[in-house]
Structure 1
């Protein structure tokens, strides 16, 4: 890992200032969400992509078989039990929940237990949603601030092959874009079982040269649990956009606040013995409060010779989370912990693309700059009882700055052969001030260079072939890079590497040979320098060992008629540690099998319906492979009718009433009042699980105006 001692001498505000200056002159990183370069007579440019669901024609456009784009047209017919399921637009991705509705989901992709986002990045209108050095977990990704009805489209890609995707994107990325305007206003009200109520109000107005879009969401949910969630969520969005033929500006403000009571995972043995019900709780005082407020600005322009994009953002967020993962190892007070933080996030992204012709070869060259600074105050881990402070384990203040520079060149060497070569450099500066133990204060710098290469041949018979390879990484928690003494035990520990490298390759195929069928096939391999695994008693992730993964993915989207769309996605993965004996090489919670099947039908009379199956399985829970999570299959059904401006929908989630696991772990747990178990701390190892929610029905009425 190359050190960069000069990074500690540059103040975060100077980095942001330099970034703004360079961006304004070079105009470099987030592409305008709704426009593509116009064709010119001299150069062969990409046509505008009209997004109408997963069947979008990406022949000649995509960099890999694992890239895609999904538009609002599909989202509006897709029943969502929770907003985190938006990531399941990515074939092979799974979003589950082991806690309350206000907490970030648990994500899985390509054999990764991504926890809350460690190797899967998401941006919303150019703002990174993953949180480094977060109180609860590295890369914490909370999507509850997203209003699905206001999403224009979602772009995604898997693997470390894309120069503009940086931290947390080794497994994949998504870029979510909100609408610029609405053709008509929307009022939507949902009511359902278990105290579920949701309302959405959105509209847009022409003001001056632009459009003002405003939207709001309110959501209440008691939940299926013995301990009611009493969840309340409030979302608001205000966006003003000027969108001309060759330039545009946008200002976007968002606000989100939520409170909830959580039912965390409980021991399977307690359920089997009838000590706790399937939907019971180990600690009825778990839960949290969270808020997120953001302001961003985007600017773009384009002409026959290139395009420029710039976005700047500021985010304030806070979290106060109470969790009890291990029960009552502390037989007097219990094991509840509090994780809290206050964060200010500043940054910007800029990108400049130039269209050229070199010696008769069409080539697009892109250079980009991404700057981010996180100032995290009062990052605390406390021991609590019923949300009452008992003792403080550690409190830190963190300053973390990252700068990403990248360049990529797409050259069309022959009519049926093109290449995309990229190079990315990332620079990090960590500064940690420990309020509780001076030995765990310090600074750390790190730098990493990541080359990328994609070779694309075709199309022949509307079929393209892809060979992709590249390096990626994820950053580790800043506290771990300077910690020398375990604050809980006083034992000496070794700091972790600031940046953990990954590398991967993929052989893919994308075909539209059969009319109406869009099919992709990918064989992939990925190696990680450091694996992150969940640790129950700390409620966070620890850096484990080196790992490898390989797999096959087959994605199909078929539209045999104008009124019917069929989907079938299959992902199979093998994941294992490479620095451990074969008998201990399983990676806990690495999902080995994901299958998604779906059918959507729309009739000119106004009737519509959607039926979807989500299945995942082959999930080891410990290194030895002696404990497994079991298979989980969920079927969701949606039916509705639309007449002019009025629409009624009935959604049934978990149609067949599955009681399988939404998430499961394997670690030590002690029930309240239980005799000491075999572990030194008195706990008993076993499967700790959280079931899927039972069958429930929700009815939605909406009107456009």
Structure 2
């Protein structure tokens, strides 16, 4: 018997589009196989000597002693991704200890991220780059630093480098809470085709292969993804990804060219009032506006060139990105417009172009070993028709704001690492960032204008050891995040142009400190402990949902993180991460000091087993809580605990997998937000208007995968 939220569909357990999906997937696999054959055998074979190449396996067990700059830096490799059941692509960032990626407004939209006491919204204060291309989007229609990871194909990620805190000279905007750098594979040992099917109309297909071409490696892959979801209103997700990479990797130089494409459209079920669920007006998976959702595209082309020698290393990366979005959301129901409802449409189209490069010199001065790095980063965002519309059922009613934005940043940095003593080294850096904001407001010309902001950010890390395979770290640094350009140039209130207002600062100063230790005293084990503090001068950001700026003042966060990774045998891998955080506003009157949606506790743990006869299994647990929903601390979210299981069998080129997500499906796991909302008058509950909103986690789901290598 189906659950109340699950709808039976005509034609059996498969949705009407399943047959079309199967045809598309079959064609995709066929194209990948034929391409593999053409590239691999398109020329007559020549006699040649084949030498086996050494392969470095990267992961959290990698030896970072002598190279890491802080206890909170790390590295995760593809073998660890394969051990983690992923319910959605955004969970890739959860390999960064203490990071959460929750579902939000449909599978085609950027996830909601949380780290170090920040409700990062969709990316502010946490930066991600993919093969050198920045993923965060400035002055975005929906949220500053918008970070949509759905364009990534997880099976083609080679490794993720990560770190936390404003201590790294090569990192700038959106990086004060943390960063992750994704690197895709250069080649595959075998081509593969993978099909996944599951409950609630979940279907996903991936096919990829690589071939030797012209002295390099050509890797090509594609993904299609369809999902109906457990909601009363079908999500109807259609998602398409493609990737093409050509790499030449020699001993002392190399190059890579990357092309990536992504398109998605979906219908979203947003958070709903808790009182509506409690009173029976809505089911747990119901919706206030069944027309919410969106469409998005992202296409990128980038190139990288690097070389290295005994005394130097350098790298140059150039990129160009096209991106567009149409997003329809209704968070408040009928609060502002009791007749038509409060749905908004956020629209933008942008081109991003830029590059970054650095040169490192390996030197010996006065008997001291040192590395000195000089680097630059340039980025331009050209955004046309950055628009906020009032809509009803995706039909236009009126325009709230519309502007064209040009935003340019130019950054330079220098970093020096010196080995002063056999057991003591320093990493000192200085970074300069200059941002140019140019806004043409088409509705309120008084808010048009040009302005510039510049910040200098010094960094310093002290590293002691190693003693007994352990290093100790002290880190200090200044960082920043940029604000939305529309808020920076604003001079009058949008709803009352006769009322002057102060614009937001272009760049918001942040500073932090950390003390930690990294130990690898046991073979196959890595443990880190870090105590950290971070201060932000202001959290004044542009609120895209309202079309205005919202000042929140200065803030302070501090906490402790303990991460553990242990591989005692070849067949068992264990990890456990604990993060505890306190976050509060500074200089505010009364008791309004809590920062809404700042997660105070994040715990993640897992086990992966390689069993005899080709069997394998995994278990993952995530727990988070201590989340205030308002500034006064009178409303708190409940705790959320999720358990995922995975098991499978591999025989030669065939791999079978079965994953169970959210094993203990419980309403207690639902995620709470704080919005004021109202129902239509004929459905208005007696309790009136309150602010507790729920976004239920996905119910228990079972998904099965088949992977064939060729």
**In the alignment, structure 1 residue 310 sits paired with structure 2 residue 316:** yes
Between the aligned partners of 1:191 and 1:68, the Cα distance in structure 2 is: 33
> Which residue number in structure 1 is paired with residue 29 of structure 2?
none
Residue 174 of structure 2: which of 168, 173, 194 is its match?
Answer: 168
Q: What is the deviation of 1:319?
A: 0.1
CA gap of 1:133–1:683, structure 2 versus 1, over 3 A, is farther
Partner secondary structure for residue 418 of structure 2: strand
**In the alignment, structure 1 residue 700 sits paired with structure 2 residue 705:** yes
Residue 142 of structure 2: which of 131, 136, 144 is its match?
Answer: 136
Q: Deviations over 1:286-309 (max 9, x none)?
A: 000000000000000000001110
Residue 192 of structure 1: which of 195, 198, 205 is its match?
Answer: 198
Residue 123 of structure 2: which of 108, 112, 117 is its match?
Answer: 117
Uncovered stretches (5+) of structure 1, i.e. residues with no partner? 1-47
Residues 51 and 69, structure 1, Cα contact 8 Å, conserved in 2 = no
Q: Deviations over 1:566-614 (max 9, x none)?
A: 1110000000001213511000000000000100001242111110000
TM alignment of 1:30-429, pairs within 5 A: 50-329=56-335, 330-429=337-436
Higher relative contact order (CA 8 A, sep 6+): 1
Partner secondary structure for residue 587 of structure 1: coil
Q: What is the deviation of 1:278?
A: 0.7
CA gap of 1:674–1:496, structure 2 versus 1, over 3 A, is farther
Between the aligned partners of 2:567 and 2:659, the Cα distance in structure 1 is: 23
> Which residue number in structure 2 is paired with residue 510 of structure 1?
518
> Which residue number in structure 2 is paired with residue 578 of structure 1?
586
Q: What is the deviation of 1:536?
A: 9.4
Q: Deviations over 1:156-175 (max 9, x none)?
A: 00000000110000101010
CA gap of 1:584–1:49, structure 2 versus 1, over 3 A, is farther
Q: What is the deviation of 1:485?
A: 2.6
CA gap of 1:439–1:107, structure 2 versus 1, over 3 A, is same
Q: Deviations over 1:245-287 (max 9, x none)?
A: 1101111100000000000011111111111111100100000
CA gap of 1:542–1:646, structure 2 versus 1, over 3 A, is farther
Between the aligned partners of 2:569 and 2:257, the Cα distance in structure 1 is: 40
Residues 611 and 617, structure 2, Cα contact 8 Å, conserved in 1 = no
Residues 245 and 259, structure 2, Cα contact 8 Å, conserved in 1 = yes
**In the alignment, structure 1 residue 444 sits paired with structure 2 residue 457:** no
Between the aligned partners of 2:548 and 2:568, the Cα distance in structure 1 is: 47
Q: Deviations over 1:440-461 (max 9, x none)?
A: 1111100000000000000111
Residue 527 of structure 1: which of 535, 540, 557 is its match?
Answer: 535
Between the aligned partners of 1:96 and 1:447, the Cα distance in structure 2 is: 34
Uncovered stretches (5+) of structure 2, i.e. residues with no partner? 1-53
The TM-score normalised by the length of structure 1 is 0.91
Between the aligned partners of 1:375 and 1:677, the Cα distance in structure 2 is: 46
> Which residue number in structure 1 is paired with residue 681 of structure 2?
673
Partner secondary structure for residue 131 of structure 1: coil
Matched residues, number: 655
Q: Deviations over 1:62-94 (max 9, x none)?
A: 100000000001101111000000110100000
CA gap of 1:540–1:699, structure 2 versus 1, over 3 A, is farther
Q: What is the deviation of 1:98?
A: 2.3
Q: What is the deviation of 1:689?
A: 1.6
Residues 504 and 549, structure 2, Cα contact 8 Å, conserved in 1 = no
Between the aligned partners of 1:310 and 1:129, the Cα distance in structure 2 is: 18
TM alignment of 1:11-22, pairs within 5 A: none
> Which residue number in structure 2 is paired with residue 689 of structure 1?
694
C-alpha RMSD over aligned residues = 1.7
Out of 567-576 and 54-63, give the one that drifted further. Answer: 54-63
Between the aligned partners of 2:537 and 2:294, the Cα distance in structure 1 is: 34
The TM-score normalised by the length of structure 2 is 0.90
> Which residue number in structure 1 is paired with residue 19 of structure 2?
none
